[in-house]
Amino acid sequence: MPEDIKARIAQLMPFFHKYSLGDFSEKIEIPEKEDELTELLVGLNLMIDDFQELLTSQKQAETELKKAQAFSRVGSWEWDIKSGQVKWSDEMYRLFGLKKEGVKVDMNKVIGAAIHPDDRQKVEASNRSVIKNKKPIPIEYRVIWPDKSVHIIWAEAGELILDEQGNPSILRGYAQDISERRRAETLLLESEQKYRSIIDSVPIGMHMYELKPDGKLVFIGANPTADKILGIENSQFIGKTIEDAFPPLKETEVPQRYREVAKTGTPWSTEQINYEHGKIKGAFEVHAFQTSANRMAAAFTEITERKQAKEEMDKRVSDLERFSKVAMGREDRILELKKEVERLKEKLGEA
């Protein structure tokens, strides 16, 4: 990679630091020069727009999920297995979109009229399991209301009563409308997939970790750019602690800093980490930030060539300063010699 492009990529790190703090007020300035990196920057700005929408939708999804859990509707039921009749609580009628008045619940009719056609078979299989095996099976299925809207129900048996011959007689349990929860979970899954897509596309190496309850910081993934920068398959480290994955880091502050980031959400960065182990060798600039509760990511870029260029420049400046001092000293000595010659000439003229 050309040095100028590496330098331009390094300039992006402050932006990632701001983004890790949730500050998306400033986008990356697009240079007039048209090249591959410029195209990446344009795409990156578009990703920031997507990420803002992602955060908004994720917050909405989390809010909906909390509401669904806080205000969950649960109904109870009792099934007389021999007669097929079912007794419902008031909430059960609401879960099926029915009015209680004048409605007599028959299990077979409920399955035929309300259960989604694609789910009827598994509901019937669950009922057969109770009758034949005396084993209730928790089940999730869809119901179709009279207004044609579809709702997701979770049903679970709580008590099975046998008759005098030991055959299943009465089954009691409860049901819950989990439609909102499932929709919220779907939104969260889509948000996570979109977030992962963004991470995989950025031209900066990314390592992801999870802080376990026992304090272990476990490597959970990396993006393709990390593989390119380090020249290895980072997937080999998945499931390992940071100390096992990258042994030289044991002697640095990095593992503890990462743990603090994952736990507290306070970002941390360093301008240079020198690392050499196995196939990995180089100097890296790192910005660490929290991605979710007890999870964090470390964004990094290699600065080895930039560091070497700076050291070479510093050496040249030092040599130039030393040469200048020597040259100035010689010039001063020449002036002194000229003055001495003039004084000798004056003395010879007087003689």
Q: Are strands 168-177 and 74-80 parallel, antiparallel or unpaired?
A: antiparallel
In a shared domain, residues 212 and 197: no
In a shared domain, residues 260 and 277: yes
Range of the domain at 44: 1-72+178-202
pTM: 0.49
Give yes or no for a contact between 86 and 79, defined as CB atoms under 8 angstroms apart.
Answer: yes
In a shared domain, residues 297 and 219: yes
What confidence score (pLDDT) does residue 140 get? 93
In a domain, 131, yes or no: yes
SS3 132: helix
Based on the structure, what is the number of domains in the chain? 3
Cα angle value 131/137/141 (rounded, 5°) = 110
In a shared domain, residues 40 and 89: no
Q: What is the pLDDT along the chain (351 residues), one digit of tens a residue?
A: 566 655 666 666 676 666 666 666 666 777 666 666 677 667 777 777 777 777 677 677 666 655 544 456 788 889 898 888 888 888 888 888 888 776 667 767 776 788 999 999 988 888 888 878 888 788 999 999 989 999 999 998 878 898 988 888 998 888 999 988 888 888 878 877 777 787 787 788 999 999 999 999 999 999 999 999 999 999 999 999 999 999 999 999 999 999 999 999 999 999 889 999 999 999 999 999 988 889 999 999 888 766 655 555 556 556 555 655 555 555 666 666 667 667 766 666 655
In a shared domain, residues 3 and 138: no
Q: Are strands 217-222 and 86-88 parallel, antiparallel or unpaired?
A: unpaired
What confidence score (pLDDT) does residue 267 get? 92
In a shared domain, residues 183 and 92: no
What confidence score (pLDDT) does residue 70 get? 44
In a shared domain, residues 48 and 184: yes
Cα angle value 338/340/342 (rounded, 5°) = 70
In a domain, 111, yes or no: yes
Rounded Cα–Cα distance for residues 51 and 55 (Å): 6
In a domain, 165, yes or no: yes
In a shared domain, residues 240 and 184: no
In a shared domain, residues 68 and 82: no
In a shared domain, residues 217 and 287: yes
In a domain, 287, yes or no: yes
SS3 13: helix
What confidence score (pLDDT) does residue 92 get? 86
